[in-house]
Structure 1
Amino acid sequence: MNVSANVIAQMRALLERRKTGYSLEAPFYLSEEIFALDMQAIFREHWIQVAVEPEIPEPGDYVTVELGSDSILIVRDDDMQVRAFHNVCRHRGARLCNEEKGSVGNIVCPYHSWTYNLSGDLMFAEHMGEQFDRCKHSLKSVHVQNLAGLIFVCLADEPPADFDLMRAAMEPYMLPHDLASCKVAAQVDIVEKGNWKLVMENNRECYHCVANHPELTISLYEYGFGYQRSPANAEGMDAFERTCVERAQQWEQLNLPSLEIEKLLDVTGFRTQRLPLDRAGESQTLDAKVACKKLLGEFRSADLGGLSFWTQPNSWHHFMSDHIVSFSVIPLSAGETLVRTRWLVHKDAREGIDYEVANLTAVWNATNNQDRTLVEYSQRGAASSAYEPGPYSPFTEGLVEKFSAWYVGRIAAALARKRSIPLRVESGV
């Protein structure tokens, strides 16, 4: 890890005085040096969700993703396997695929036409002489995993070994929605002028939802993501809890698990839960009815609630009977973050007949723009001389604390490996 001694010393001090249950200190959100450490210790060392399988349905289809200075090429090979490579020619390092997505027969360098097959093997390199060994110049592979249609990559030499634990837990929840048999109906990229951790913290709580997300709270119960009980809301909370029990029993009969699994402090941290939806109870839309008439998988009923799936450090996803919304966060700098949202429907659904893109995307387009504003408020506030870490709500911000604790723990582990000196971190990780 190429991190200066000054940055290591600063980080050790920040980590050691981090207070459990409080937001992080300002340098975590503002410092470009700490951002560089984040990219090395978090985004190079962990499984990062970057794409969805329907983006590359046929052999030769590819997408590219930028993680810091690294460009990753994700491609479907001739055997229909998903592969990932560094998007760099083995000749003199030119970028191979310069578009965000496309389709190729072979991977051809635009500079000197070195040609690789879809398995990354160098097939053709003109004027290199008889002694040249093509086998020693294949593309450099990147670790890739396909979890029920969600594609993750890891740039580490040895990726975290616990991905299969997440797979075993999540496939029963996700596979009935058959993401692999979907298509991307819409994709929207926005750049939020805030640190990636503020983006993730904002996602991990709904304390702000009622006041800021009128479109989203049409279908989401306000009690579903943490709430402090009071005499004024006790009746509503009791009714919600009864609804959860009743619906869980119905879903279990359909082989749709719903119980919470919470592993957010694992190295490959994740959480899932299926919850009822409010109003019509079918989908996250402006009327809580399905946005797509063609249901996913083999579903025959539209009222299947919303399955949420969160991963550390950079994604969250909502699975419904009719469509899936997938969010991937890519840091750009200490103060800018790309939030990529994809809406997926059944591959046979017909735009204009089975669904309208405007209706499909309305709730989360509005919510994303509202969240962008809130994150940017937070980024500007963190730059103030008056900023100091504030307390998380024990009722509504528990998942924010778990994100912060996971982050602090993973950074501490990375620095301890570098210096071979244990770090004391109050987060308990």
Structure 2
Amino acid sequence: MNPVAPAAEVADLVSRRPAGQSLQAPFYVDEEFFTLDIEAVFARHWLFVAAEAELPEPGDYVTVTLGSYSVIVVRDDDEGVRAFHNVCRHRGARILDEGRGSVGNIVCGYHRWTYGVDGRLLHAESQAPGFAPSCFSLRSVHARTVAGLVFICLAEEPPADFDEVAARIEPYLAPHNLAKAKVATQIDLVEHGNWKPTMENNRECYHCTGPPELQTCYFPIYGYAEQDVPPALRPAYERFQRADADARATYESLGLPYAAIEGLDTRATGFRIQREPLDLAGESFTPDGTAACTRLLADFPTARLGRRSFHLQPNAWFHFLADHAITFAVIPLGPDRTLVRTTWLVHADAVEGLDYDLDTLTKVWKATNEQDAVFVNRYVTRLKAHLEQKR
């Protein structure tokens, strides 16, 4: 295959894909298709990159690398969140090498060009007369915050539908007060596979009955229409029906929106959001379903609010519960390497060891992520073997 696949070749491969089936193997394993993924998907759409809780103070930053792009996401002195290309305007050097940290100013280590956290060039030594610092600010990247979540878009003209998406999802997210939460912990897991199976696993969920830790608090009837529920699952379905009726009554009494909204393949910013009950105690992702943190995220009168699930294409999903929230950011590192960054958020005043135990808080999704990583690796390994046989 050519170093960079021509657009016509890509279009041909897409057109020959049987409806309802996966893309052909090269899309999951070849370098040229990874490059196209970055340019055609990740450089053109809104991406989730961090929770605001990861940037609690002015000068706090995270960096995100997507193919040849590196982006600084930073809290400015006015408490806003900004994003800039991580490229010095002098010699094009990368400025910040760490994944996260805190700065007073943003200083390039090459020639000490110094920028404020608002991106303005503050200092550039030994410049010619007439040099205009205002012409050499850091290049901005579009950044938005929605109810405590930070999104960026690398495109010069971002998808115009994000305002509408934000308006629709914010009422679901805002009650959890995420902008005032804190990070309990964050785990980076590198899956040895392409980013597409990672996102497909989350979206199609055929394998969701596999992870035993996750199944303890999920009703095992996901995807079944009532008439298709097998006899063995009928008791679980009836238990779900009772829990769902109770949950809807609670949601309505508290003014919490819960109806599913889905627009995955009909718009630029594909998303799905819904609030629904959990099994057992119905409070959290724990072995018995009870709250993992006794200090709730917000002033909820009950911890039994189930889960508010949110999926955003192309790179994120989220779970909001009464006691904590979990964010999942998917960052492609290469054709066969994908970073899954999972962040657990709790009330700002929650105390580890007193209000929550970290192992209990993270057990379900830590185990589920690790199991999913195995599935992704198996899938991509098989595709590579298939291609090698053909070659």
Fold shared by both chains (TM-score > 0.5) = yes
- Correspondence 1:302 to 2:320: no
1:123: how far off? Answer: 1.1
Measured at CA, do residues 226 and 334 of structure 1 come closer, stay the same or move farther in structure 2, by a change above 3 Å? farther
CA contact (8 A) 1:194 1:336 kept: yes
1:269: how far off? Answer: 0.5
**Equivalent in the alignment of 2:319:** 318
1:385: how far off? Answer: 3.0
Q: Which amino acid aligns with 2:349?
A: D
**Equivalent in the alignment of 2:88:** 89
CA contact (8 A) 1:71 1:86 kept: yes
- Per-residue displacement from partner, 1:274-295 (whole Å, max 9, x unpaired)? 1101111110112211111110
After superposing the two structures, state which structure 1 stretch, 241-250 or 134-143, moved more: 241-250
**Equivalent in the alignment of 1:288:** 289
**Equivalent in the alignment of 1:236:** 236
1:226: how far off? Answer: 4.5
d(CA) in 1 for partners of 2:324 and 2:135? 44
What does 1:349-360 align with in structure 2 at a 5 Å threshold? 349-360=350-361
1:386: how far off? Answer: 8.9
Cα RMSD for the two superposed structures: 1.7
**Equivalent in the alignment of 1:401:** none
- Per-residue displacement from partner, 1:325-349 (whole Å, max 9, x unpaired)? 1000011111111111000001111
- Per-residue displacement from partner, 1:94-114 (whole Å, max 9, x unpaired)? 221121111111111112111
- Correspondence 1:247 to 2:247: yes
**Equivalent in the alignment of 1:370:** 371
After superposing the two structures, state which structure 1 stretch, 237-246 or 78-87, moved more: 237-246
Query: Which secondary structure does the structure 1 equivalent of 2:204 belong to?
Result: coil
- Per-residue displacement from partner, 1:131-161 (whole Å, max 9, x unpaired)? 1110100000000111111111111110001
**Equivalent in the alignment of 1:73:** 72
Q: Which amino acid aligns with 1:77?
A: D
d(CA) in 1 for partners of 2:42 and 2:223? 27
1:130: how far off? Answer: 2.2
d(CA) in 2 for partners of 1:176 and 1:316? 18
d(CA) in 2 for partners of 1:364 and 1:91? 44
State the identity as a percent. 52
1:359: how far off? Answer: 1.1
d(CA) in 2 for partners of 1:303 and 1:5? 52
**Equivalent in the alignment of 1:158:** 157
Name the count of aligned residue pairs.
384
Measured at CA, do residues 117 and 217 of structure 1 come closer, stay the same or move farther in structure 2, by a change above 3 Å? same
CA contact (8 A) 2:240 2:279 kept: no
Q: Which amino acid aligns with 2:317?
A: W
d(CA) in 1 for partners of 2:229 and 2:6? 43
CA contact (8 A) 1:46 1:159 kept: yes
Query: Which secondary structure does the structure 1 equivalent of 2:134 belong to?
Result: helix
The TM-score with structure 2 as length reference comes to: 0.94
CA contact (8 A) 2:332 2:339 kept: yes
What does 1:8-407 align with in structure 2 at a 5 Å threshold? 8-210=7-209, 212-226=210-224, 228-265=228-265, 266-385=267-386
1:183: how far off? Answer: 0.7
CA contact (8 A) 1:117 1:123 kept: yes
d(CA) in 2 for partners of 1:264 and 1:32? 26
After superposing the two structures, state which structure 1 stretch, 362-371 or 101-110, moved more: 101-110
Query: Which secondary structure does the structure 2 equivalent of 1:144 belong to?
Result: strand
d(CA) in 1 for partners of 2:233 and 2:296? 35
Q: Which amino acid aligns with 2:105?
A: N
d(CA) in 2 for partners of 1:385 and 1:100? 36
- Per-residue displacement from partner, 1:29-78 (whole Å, max 9, x unpaired)? 12211111111000000001111101111111111111111110011111
1:206: how far off? Answer: 2.9
Measured at CA, do residues 123 and 352 of structure 1 come closer, stay the same or move farther in structure 2, by a change above 3 Å? same
d(CA) in 1 for partners of 2:212 and 2:236? 19
After superposing the two structures, state which structure 1 stretch, 25-34 or 190-199, moved more: 25-34
Q: Which amino acid aligns with 1:308?
A: S
Query: Which secondary structure does the structure 2 equivalent of 1:354 belong to?
Result: coil
**Runs of 4+ residues over 4 Å off in structure 1:** 3-6, 225-228
Query: Which secondary structure does the structure 2 equivalent of 1:273 belong to?
Result: strand
d(CA) in 1 for partners of 2:250 and 2:305? 9
- Per-residue displacement from partner, 1:149-186 (whole Å, max 9, x unpaired)? 11111111100011111111111100000111111111
Query: Which secondary structure does the structure 1 equivalent of 2:386 belong to?
Result: coil
After superposing the two structures, state which structure 1 stretch, 225-234 or 280-289, moved more: 225-234
Query: Which secondary structure does the structure 2 equivalent of 1:381 belong to?
Result: helix
d(CA) in 2 for partners of 1:89 and 1:386? 41
d(CA) in 1 for partners of 2:246 and 2:290? 20
Query: Which secondary structure does the structure 2 equivalent of 1:46 belong to?
Result: coil
Q: Which amino acid aligns with 2:263?
A: K
Query: Which secondary structure does the structure 2 equivalent of 1:383 belong to?
Result: helix
Q: Which amino acid aligns with 1:17?
A: R
- Per-residue displacement from partner, 1:73-101 (whole Å, max 9, x unpaired)? 01111111100001111111122112111
User: Which consecutive unaligned segments of at least 5 residues does structure 2 have?
Assistant: none
User: Which consecutive unaligned segments of at least 5 residues does structure 1 have?
Assistant: 388-429
d(CA) in 1 for partners of 2:386 and 2:60? 49
CA contact (8 A) 1:26 1:382 kept: yes
Query: Which secondary structure does the structure 2 equivalent of 1:49 belong to?
Result: strand
d(CA) in 1 for partners of 2:42 and 2:221? 33
d(CA) in 1 for partners of 2:3 and 2:96? 33
1:6: how far off? Answer: 4.4
CA contact (8 A) 1:206 1:226 kept: no
CA contact (8 A) 2:4 2:32 kept: no
Measured at CA, do residues 175 and 382 of structure 1 come closer, stay the same or move farther in structure 2, by a change above 3 Å? same
The TM-score with structure 1 as length reference comes to: 0.86
* Bigger relative contact order (CA 8 A; separation at least 6): 1
